[in-house]
Amino acid sequence: MTAPIYSRRKFLQNSLFVLGAAALPSLSFASLIQGSPRALQMSNIHTGESLHTQYFDGRQYQLSELQKINHLCRDFRQNEAHNMDKTLFDQISAIQQIIGCDNQVQIISGFRSSATNKMLSERSEGVAKKSLHMLGKAIDFRIEGVPLADVRKAALSLKTGGVGYYPKSNFIHIDSGRFRSW
């Protein structure tokens, strides 16, 4: 495995872009992802599986690659996959652009079946009973070698979807619902 590449200088340069984008919020997220190919290097921390994929070729989403991501993000407890909202992967790609890295995205939780979500919500107050995970519209992750606070700042700068910050559990939650944070 190669060492993660994370440049503080690159992060600061991209932060300046974020500040500019904040002044023009309607352009920020769209301008980061428009028209360019998008690739992700991902792993599932529970199954040990990994994937390097170009899921968008610059013009259209690659359905076979999205299916591979759906499988990686499946509910491993029930071995049940669901179509994930592809805008989540666009958000992650934009977050990586802001940070200035393409390090591995470590998936903690993608799709959750209703049975798994019920079990988790009974164990923890932090799990919503009507979680967007059950619709494939949420993902919990971290980026290898990148401080979690930096991932959070980048996610918040997009002003799209929900952003949850869980430093004790070492992950960020994003979803494709309305913009909010906790």
What confidence tens digit (pLDDT) does each residue in 127-157 have?
888 899 999 999 999 999 999 999 999 999 9
pLDDT digits (tens, 9 = 90+) for 3-35: 455 565 555 555 544 444 444 444 455 555 677
**Domain that includes residue 47, residue range:** 35-181
- Within-domain flag for 13: no
pLDDT, residue 131, reads 94
CA dist., res. 120 & res. 18, Å (int):
35
Does some domain include residue 6?
A: no
Q: Is residue 108 part of a domain?
A: yes
Query: Does the residue 130 lie in any domain?
Result: yes
Half-sphere exposure at residue 144, Cβ-oriented, CA atoms within 13 angstroms: 18
Which CATH number covers residue 54? 3.30.1380.10
Tell me the pLDDT band of 124, cut-offs 50, 70 and 90. Answer: confident
pTM: 0.82
Q: Is residue 60 part of a domain?
A: yes
Is there a domain that residue 1 lies in? no
Position 55 pLDDT exceeds 90: yes
